[in-house]
């Protein structure tokens, strides 16, 4: 059996793994890395790389698909030479899955030609060593069994602790990692932010949507739970929080009355129902955005989103500049009435959809890229062959770096090739859609009423971007950029003034 002194002059790679966030804050990485460095220094190895799997459990084998799995795959394919020495703290750093599965993975790892060192017992593991000694196999199996049993017991205890938490919460107080921002951590009572939280629900009760509530809170200078400006997602989280009526939810189990209530459960349910009703009302349905992710402010470049405003019993939609709404820019662009914008743009969609000649350079670019990728792959094969024949660790290190660089270049070229093919496919799809529009201009209008998702898909195939400009209440302009690359400026009449 090999001894540590027999590894002198070899190149080593250390592997460190830990499963919890608390261990990340501790000394897991420092301890495991320091031990590997000391082993290399004592026995004349060169520590070339340090692999880590942070916050990844070995109990269910997740690390076998992370850094460790990628490393073993690179050894199998020849990207990394198989005469390197892999150093781990203990065998349980590799895996804690069931022993019958663990030993198969372990032997497959050694069959790549790797030499494995476990520091706690100073054992050197090789494929030949296991072929020649049944005792080595039994020692490793026992270590794997112990590691799996430890993780299984720990997992059981954690699960049991979680299952007991609701029971403890009903009897008294438990430690809650993330409290609602209106609850004081020391007293578990309402704090000075309770009125801010109540305001969110009051605004929702008055008929304001999440976007409008976000704008109101930011306009009034009310800080978000994190102390910054509000985002729509944060408003949504507050409105969905059952803690508003005092309920603590643990793993799906409710503990009513755990927190002091901001509002009653009935009021909370009514707010949820209003939110759903707004989302599915006929008026909102008629104004759902056919131009999602396409529309930008022509003044500051920020995305424009569809917001709603309640007027009497009706809810109307408007395109609003997010730069202005969230005060990210000094933009003062007015809102655009959505229903009028949609009607006018659909009326002109036939004009916009007039086909333009396709760029004939696409096949040429694709062909040149294929040639470039082929040349890079040939170079990579030569470098990998050179790694296998390299006589010194320094030469191998240089060649490994070159192989990595070639791999990055190949991947970049492949992404570029994919982009060209996607654009070409999108153009052909939009060209097909154009024919449909020319054959029956009324079809898009029908889809806008009966199948809005279908209408949105057809428009998305044609239109890449829309920039809205308003120099005054009577001068409105949209610059529509098609996926073909052509841009069309459209001037809108003044019958529907921006909101």
- Residue-wise pLDDT tens digits, 233-266: 899 899 989 999 988 887 667 778 888 899 888 8
pLDDT score for 402: 83
Q: Which of 118-127, 272-281, 307-316 has the lowest mean pLDDT?
A: 272-281
Mean of the per-residue pLDDT values for the chain?
75
Domain 194-280, CATH among 3.40.50.460, 3.60.10.10, 3.40.718.10, 3.90.1750.20: 3.90.1750.20
pLDDT band at 129 (very low <50, low <70, confident <90, very high): confident
pLDDT band at 144 (very low <50, low <70, confident <90, very high): low
pLDDT score for 414: 79
pLDDT above 60: residue 156: no
Percent of the chain scored above 90 by pLDDT? 9
Identify the architecture of domain 4-153 in CATH. Answer: 3-Layer(aba) Sandwich (3.40)
Rg over alpha carbons for the chain, rounded to the nearest Å, is 32
pLDDT score for 287: 43
pLDDT above 60: residue 373: yes
pLDDT score for 201: 92
**135-141 average pLDDT score:** 65
pLDDT score for 143: 64
**295-313 average pLDDT score:** 85
- Taking the domain 361-439, which CATH number applies? 1.20.58.90
pLDDT above 60: residue 19: no
Show me where the domains of the chain are located: 4-153, 194-280, 361-439
pLDDT score for 283: 39
Which positions ≥6 away from 489 have C-beta within 8 Å?
477, 478, 479, 480
Give the residue, 22 or 262, on which the prediction is more confident. 262
pLDDT score for 181: 93
pLDDT score for 392: 73
Of 25-39, 276-290, 483-497, where does the model show the most confidence? 25-39
Percent of the chain scored above 70 by pLDDT? 69
pLDDT band at 160 (very low <50, low <70, confident <90, very high): low
pLDDT score for 398: 78
**27-34 average pLDDT score:** 73
- Residue-wise pLDDT tens digits, 428-483: 545 554 444 444 456 667 777 777 777 777 787 778 899 998 876 667 888 888 87
Of 39-48, 51-60, 144-153, where does the model show the most confidence? 39-48
Give the residue, 454 or 498, on which the prediction is more confident. 454
pLDDT band at 369 (very low <50, low <70, confident <90, very high): confident
pLDDT score for 61: 44
């Amino acid at each position: 059996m090999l001894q540590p002194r027999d590894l002198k002059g070899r190149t080593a790679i250390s592997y460190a793994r830990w499963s919890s966030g608390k261990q990340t804050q501790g000394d897991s990485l420092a301890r495991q890395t320091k031990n590997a460095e000391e082993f290399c220094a004592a026995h004349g190895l060169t520590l070339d790389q340090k692999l880590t799997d942070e916050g990844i459990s070995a109990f269910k084998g997740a690390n076998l698909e992370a850094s460790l799995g990628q490393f073993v795959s690179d050894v199998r394919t020849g990207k990394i030479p198989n005469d390197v020495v892999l150093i781990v703290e203990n065998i349980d750093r590799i895996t804690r899955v069931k022993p019958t599965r663990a030993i198969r993975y372990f032997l497959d790892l050694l069959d790549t030609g790797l030499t494995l060192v476990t520091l706690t017992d100073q054992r050197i593991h090789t494929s030949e060593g296991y072929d020649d000694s049944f005792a080595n196999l039994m020692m490793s199996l026992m270590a794997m069994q112990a590691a799996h049993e430890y993780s299984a017991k720990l997992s059981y205890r954690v699960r049991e602790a979680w299952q007991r938490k609701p029971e403890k919460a009903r009897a008294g107080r438990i430690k809650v990692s993330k409290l609602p921002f209106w609850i004081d951590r020391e007293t578990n009572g309402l704090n000075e932010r309770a009125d801010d939280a109540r305001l969110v629900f009051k605004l929702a009760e008055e008929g304001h949507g999440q976007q409008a509530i976000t704008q109101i809170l930011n306009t009034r200078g009310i800080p978000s739970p994190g102390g910054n400006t509000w985002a729509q997602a944060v408003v949504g989280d507050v409105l969905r929080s059952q803690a508003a009526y005092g309920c603590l939810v643990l793993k799906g189990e409710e503990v009513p009355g755990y927190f002091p209530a901001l509002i009653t459960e009935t009021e909370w349910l009514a707010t949820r129902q209003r939110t759903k009703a707004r989302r599915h009302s006929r008026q909102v349905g008629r104004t759902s955005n056919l131009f999602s992710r396409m529309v930008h402010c022509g003044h500051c470049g920020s995305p424009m989103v569809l917001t709603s405003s309640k007027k009497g019993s009706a809810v109307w939609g408007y395109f609003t500049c997010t730069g202005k709404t969230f005060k990210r820019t000094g933009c003062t662009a007015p809102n655009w009435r959505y229903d009028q914008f949609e009607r006018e743009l659909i009326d002109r969609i036939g004009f916009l959809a007039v086909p333009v000649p396709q760029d004939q350079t696409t096949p040429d670019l694709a062909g040149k890229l294929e040639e470039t990728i082929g040349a890079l792959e040939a170079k990579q094969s030569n470098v990998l062959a050179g790694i296998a024949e390299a006589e010194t660790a320094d030469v191998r290190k240089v060649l490994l770096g070159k192989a990595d660089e070639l791999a990055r270049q190949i991947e970049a070229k492949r992404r570029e090739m994919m982009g060209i093919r996607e654009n070409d496919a999108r153009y052909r799809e939009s060209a097909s859609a154009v024919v449909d529009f020319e054959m029956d201009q009324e079809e898009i209008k029908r889809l806008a009423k009966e199948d809005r998702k279908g209408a949105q898909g057809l428009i998305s195939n044609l239109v890449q971007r829309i920039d809205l400009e308003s120099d005054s209440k009577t001068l409105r302009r949209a610059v529509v950029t098609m996926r073909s690359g052509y841009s069309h400026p459209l001037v809108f009449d003044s019958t529907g003034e921006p909101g």
